[in-house]
Structure 1
């Protein structure tokens, strides 16, 4: 489930980074911050049925540890012997972005030299699908054509498509990384947060929360909106959310909107809930590495006119040096990350 995804992704991230702490000092300066939106939901549902049908003695002693969201960080820490900060974030669909942003701040504050950070989710089960469908968040109009169901910004969109997996990155103090000759993909230069204070599931209709969140990230980065080359949108394919985010981005970029590329990679992989922000931060970094803006698939007929290039249906080659990745969640929790290429 979500812990297994986190462990697999952390293994890959650490291997790719080339960082294997061997001394006690290296282990105590390497931490973990992995979050999840809803954790072990499928296990809760399955064990509830088991409890009812077979009684309490059949409940596994691993039931509780397997459901706690911070155990994703815990298992990764134990497996790799990482004794630095051991933390978790739970902020619905903003979780992965918050985890990366918070971990970057721990490094900047000197609490760790290296942080293994990101989000993980394993929500595809009957109870999750029923619950999200009940609150009218899921797409239900393309059941016979599932590959067409996730269609952010398209006029026929009717909700998101659930995905699952994990996105984990290794964050490191620059001098520490340089000293060991690490391959550096990008630098996190901005991190913004905000709250809508509006509704338990719907975003603020004015887009003010998203706008303030992006604005805070720009302020922290010390750059202008016009310096951003690509935005990885939250873009879930919901009728309300997509246009609210688009309006907030248009407001932020103003006259510079016409030079901007923005797409939703959820059109390709679905919505990974608490893992989405981390996976999309990775997509954003790869967009810089390859100078390719990933496409918004299934965008046949945009629901609104915009000067922003929504990269419909096919990826586009363009110079990308600075990226913004947005993640917004139930409860009005918002996170934006700004990353810059390192040459």
Structure 2
């Protein structure tokens, strides 16, 4: 079976506008949550989010490109540019037909004023044409196609829409595309920006968001804590460049890690709740470990989905204990969402940055805000500060509304390629 290398990573997140700054933020335990700035949330029940700071799409991408893109798409294009640049993949390096793109994202949202204007027009019997550029900006397929064209990738282009599991599914499907011989190179990851009035209102009405933290937003995301009361919406993009292992080795590429395993399932339970018995998450983790040709006791670190909702954290803990048995007590488990909030379709990308950084540096990012551990959740969640530990194999989790579960295994490449 073909091996798959990760040779490039790009990121735009609440912790930084590139991969290196995001990693430093994670290992330093720096919070990225603040008062909402993307719209006037003064009358909303939740008024905080984890937002990207200091990102200038015009300066980063050029005016002509930036004007074509939505906020989330700008993050995606910038992250893809960084991944391609870091991997040093040239447009003439191999056949364009063997280079693919597989990205997860959410369909764009209309602004409230735009919706009101459209409703008033319809009620008055007026029907105005919308400019193609406006429609295209909300089309999920446009972003992947734009990135493919920008970098000369003319192979398969796949769009994933599995909510919070999206980036993990996209990376996993990229792994399969390379193993199947469809591609030598795949740009894979996720992007999202659900810090809109509609998303904040919708998740607030569901009771899913952490409420009551307007005076201390950095403390709002509290995975695995006894006083957790919901997740914090975030935004950003993370894109990885996946490459056939032999191809990467032949061209002397720097390899961050081996992408070794992937598993995905559906809970078939409730749309918004994780099953108390761990449900499909158990099978997704087992499938990923099996796909990697590994055993549970070889895993050193689990990057948890860890949203901070009471049900999800309890369900994931049960699932980890079921999969790892006695070895669960020896695992380090942590949640980047305690710092970045929940980047929805891009969330697993941040988890992969945590995994890759731990493999490279031997430092495991913490779960911040975990000062009151839930006695029912008794794993080592690396509270408050980073932990030094030699890491060889990492399991990355991503679980979504709708019940989709996805897990990935990444491992060290020591002795494989130049790293």
TM range (shorter): over 0.9
Alignment of structure 1 residues 113-152 onto 2, 5 Å? 113-152=184-223
Query: 261, 276, 284: which one pairs with 1:213?
Result: 284
Q: In structure 1, what is the equivalent of residue 319 of structure 2?
A: 248
**Is the 1:236–1:271 Cα contact (8 Å) retained in structure 2?**
yes
**Could you say what secondary structure the match of 1:63 adopts?**
helix
**Could you say what secondary structure the match of 1:222 adopts?**
coil
> What TM-score do you get using the length of structure 1 for normalisation?
0.96
Unpaired runs of 5+ in structure 2?
1-70, 415-419
**Could you say what secondary structure the match of 2:308 adopts?**
coil
Q: In structure 2, what is the equivalent of residue 18 of structure 1?
A: 88
Q: Is 1:172 aligned with 2:236?
A: no
**Could you say what secondary structure the match of 1:213 adopts?**
helix
Using the alignment, how far apart are the partners of 1:270 and 1:119 within structure 2? 15
Q: Is 1:2 aligned with 2:72?
A: yes
Segments ≥4 residues shifted beyond 4 Å: 53-56
Q: Is 1:48 aligned with 2:115?
A: yes
**Is the 1:39–1:122 Cα contact (8 Å) retained in structure 2?**
no
Alignment of structure 1 residues 159-238 onto 2, 5 Å? 159-238=230-309
Alignment of structure 1 residues 90-109 onto 2, 5 Å? 90-109=161-180
Q: In structure 1, what is the equivalent of residue 26 of structure 2?
A: none
CA RMSD, Structure 1 to Structure 2 (Å): 1.5
**Is the 1:141–1:158 Cα contact (8 Å) retained in structure 2?**
no
**Is the 2:314–2:377 Cα contact (8 Å) retained in structure 1?**
no
1:56 to partner: Cα distance: 4.5
Cα distance change, pair 83–257 in 1 and its aligned pair in 2 (3 A): same
1:203 to partner: Cα distance: 1.2
Q: In structure 1, what is the equivalent of residue 150 of structure 2?
A: 79
Q: In structure 2, what is the equivalent of residue 29 of structure 1?
A: 98
**Is the 2:223–2:307 Cα contact (8 Å) retained in structure 1?**
yes
Using the alignment, how far apart are the partners of 2:108 and 2:75 within structure 1? 12
Using the alignment, how far apart are the partners of 2:354 and 2:322 within structure 1? 24
Cα distance change, pair 46–173 in 1 and its aligned pair in 2 (3 A): farther
Cα distance change, pair 56–47 in 1 and its aligned pair in 2 (3 A): farther
**Is the 1:153–1:302 Cα contact (8 Å) retained in structure 2?**
yes
**Could you say what secondary structure the match of 1:190 adopts?**
strand
Cα deviation digits, residues 134-158 of structure 1 (max 9, x gap): 1111111212210000010011111
Cα deviation digits, residues 194-237 of structure 1 (max 9, x gap): 11101111112211211111011111112111110000000000
**Is the 1:2–1:39 Cα contact (8 Å) retained in structure 2?**
no
Using the alignment, how far apart are the partners of 1:57 and 1:107 within structure 2? 45
Using the alignment, how far apart are the partners of 2:410 and 2:213 within structure 1? 35
- Paired residues, what number? 340
> What TM-score do you get using the length of structure 2 for normalisation?
0.79
1:47 to partner: Cα distance: 3.5
Using the alignment, how far apart are the partners of 1:47 and 1:20 within structure 2? 41
1:307 to partner: Cα distance: 5.0
**Is the 1:132–1:138 Cα contact (8 Å) retained in structure 2?**
yes
1:12 to partner: Cα distance: 0.5
Cα deviation digits, residues 277-328 of structure 1 (max 9, x gap): 1221122111111111100000011112555310000000100110000000
1:44 to partner: Cα distance: 5.8
**Is the 1:70–1:88 Cα contact (8 Å) retained in structure 2?**
yes
Q: Is 1:259 aligned with 2:327?
A: no
Q: In structure 2, what is the equivalent of residue 292 of structure 1?
A: 363
Using the alignment, how far apart are the partners of 2:269 and 2:111 within structure 1? 30
**Is the 2:276–2:314 Cα contact (8 Å) retained in structure 1?**
no
Q: In structure 1, what is the equivalent of residue 181 of structure 2?
A: 110
**Could you say what secondary structure the match of 1:120 adopts?**
strand
**Is the 1:47–1:59 Cα contact (8 Å) retained in structure 2?**
no
Using the alignment, how far apart are the partners of 1:178 and 1:289 within structure 2? 18
